[in-house]
Each structure stands twice: as C-alpha cells, then as structure tokens.
Structure 1
Amino acid sequence: MIEFYPQIKLVHVSAVMLSGSFFALRGLSLLAGLQWPRHALPRYLSYTIDTVLLTAALMLLTILPRELYANGWLLVKLGFVASYVVLGILAFRPRRGPGARGGLLAAAALCFLQAYCIARAHHPLGALYLLGG
C-alpha cells in the first residue's frame, strides 16, 4: 500500500484545499444574504468532499509508520477538525443572526487553519510552532 502514498497524499491535500475553499465560499455567501449555500446540491457536494478527505486521511493513517504521530500532533489536529465541523454546522443553521453566524464561521475557519498548520508542522502547536521555528 505504501507504493500508493504519493497519490493518496495528493488526493488528501486536494480535498483539504477544496473543503476549506468551499466552506469559505459558502460561509461568505451566507453572510452576504444568499440562500444557495443551504440548498441540497452544495450541502451534498460538501459532504462528498469531506468524505473523500476523511477516506484519504484514514488510508494515510494505515500506511504511515506510527512513530510519525509520537508527539501527539495527530490527536490535537483531530480535535481542531472536530471543532471545525461542529462550528460549521452551527454556523449554517438557519436561525442564527449575522453576528453569531459571522463569529461561528470565523471560529471554524481558525480551527481549520490551525489543523492545517498542525498537519504541515507535524507538531501539536501548529501555527505557533511554525511562527516560532
């Protein structure tokens, strides 16, 4: 399975970029008062992208050596990913005011960025580690 590592990583990284970009586009559109982000097609497209992302992540997890995760960065990253998902779900609920929606979207985006930085640095401090090192 390790021979497929480059292809699996490419799919994973591409899905990360698509997920974050599509989330930002939907969130900004919702803040602008547009209704298309709540329609079925964008929602299902988002679910599909995130399913591909998770599948590729699990495949990488099974083929990479366990020593790579020894400092706990993966567990911290998963916590930020879970927070990103929960905050995103709350932000897209229909009964939110613009202030609450904006705050939830911003918090979700920060969680996404921190998870990304943790993955890049392979360190639990993520952005703080990248800025300091």
Structure 2
Amino acid sequence: MIEFYPQIKHAHMDLALTSGALFALRGAALLAGMRWPKAASVRYTSYTIDTALLTAAILLLTLLPGALYANGWLATKVVLIVVYVVLGMLAFGDKRPRRARIMFYAAALLTFGQIYGIARAHHPLGLLSLL
C-alpha cells in the first residue's frame, strides 16, 4: 500500500485546499445574503469532499511510521480541526447576529490557515515555527 503514498498525499492536500476554498466561498456568500450556499447540492458536495479528505487522512495515518508524529504536530492539527468545524457551524448558523457570524467565520478561516501551516511545517506551531 505504501506505493500509493504519493497519490494519497496529493489527494489529501488537494482535497484540503478544495474544502477550505469551498468553506471560504460559502461563508462569504452567506454573509452577503445569498441563498445558494444552503442548497442541498452544495452541502452534499461539501460533505463528499470532507469525507474523501478524512479517508485520505486515515490512509496516510496508517501508512506512515508513528515516529513522524512524535513532536505533537498531528495532535495539534486534529484539535484545531475540531475547533475549525465548530467555528464553521457557528458561522453558518442563522440564529446568531450577523456580527457574531462574521467573527466566527473570520476565526474559522484563521484556524484553517493555522491547520494548513501545521501540515506544511510538521510542527505544532505551524509556519510560526520559522520565526
């Protein structure tokens, strides 16, 4: 199975960027008052991308040696993914004031950026570790 590592890694990276881009686009459209982001087809597209992303992540986790994760970057990334999902749910909810949804949306985008930085740097501080 290790022979498929490059393809799985690239699929995971592409799916992560696609998921983040779709989230950013949907969030901006919702905050602009558009209705299409709440359409079932858009939601199911998002669910499909995220399911494929999670599948690729699990495959990578089983393929790679545990020593690669020794510095805690993966645990940090997983915790931030949960934070990102919760912030996204709060941003997309209709019951909160617009200002709160904007703040949750911005926080979710910043969290996504930190997750991306952690994944690229393989360090719990992400790209901040380069400073």
- Global fold match (TM > 0.5): yes
Paired with 1:6 and 1:61, the residues of 2 have a C-alpha distance of 13
Structure 2: where are the runs of 5+ without partners? none
Q: How does 1:1-133 map to 2 (within 5 A)?
A: 1-130=1-130, 132=131
Which amino acid in structure 2 is aligned with residue 116 of structure 1?
Answer: Y
Q: Distance in 2 between matches of 1:10 and 1:117?
A: 16
User: Cα RMSD (Å) of the superposition?
Assistant: 0.8
CA distance in 1: counterparts of 2:14 and 2:102, whole angstroms: 26
- Alpha-carbon distance between aligned partners in 2 of 1:77 and 1:31, rounded to the nearest angstrom: 27
* Percent of residue pairs identical: 60
TM-score (norm 1): 0.95
3-state secondary structure, aligned to 1:62: helix
2:125 and 2:61 map into 1 onto residues whose CA distance is 20
Report the Cα distance in structure 1 between the residues aligned to 2:33 and 2:113, rounded to whole angstroms.
Answer: 25
CA distance in 1, matches of 2:97, 2:25: 18
Provide the TM-score with structure 2 as the length reference. Answer: 0.97
One-letter amino acid of the counterpart of residue 42, structure 1: V
Structure-1 separation of matches of 2:43 and 2:96: 18
List runs of 5+ in structure 1 lacking aligned partners. Answer: none
Any idea what SS the aligned residue of 2:95 has?
coil
Question: 1:123 is aligned with what amino acid?
Answer: H
Distance in 1 (CA, whole Å) between partners of 2:28 and 2:58 is 30
Equivalent position amino acid for 1:112 in 2: F
Q: How much has 1:38 moved relative to structure 2?
A: 1.2
1:61-88 CA distances to partner (integer Å, 9 max, x unpaired)?
0001111000000000011111111110
Residues in 2 aligned to 1:7 and 1:96: alpha-carbon distance in whole angstroms: 41
Q: CA deviation at 1:39?
A: 1.5
Query: Runs of 4 or more off by more than 2 Å in structure 1?
Result: none
> In structure 1, how many angstroms separate the alpha carbons of the residues matched to 2:32 and 2:98?
9
Deviation at 1:41, TM superposition (A): 1.0
* Code of the aligned partner of 1:76: T
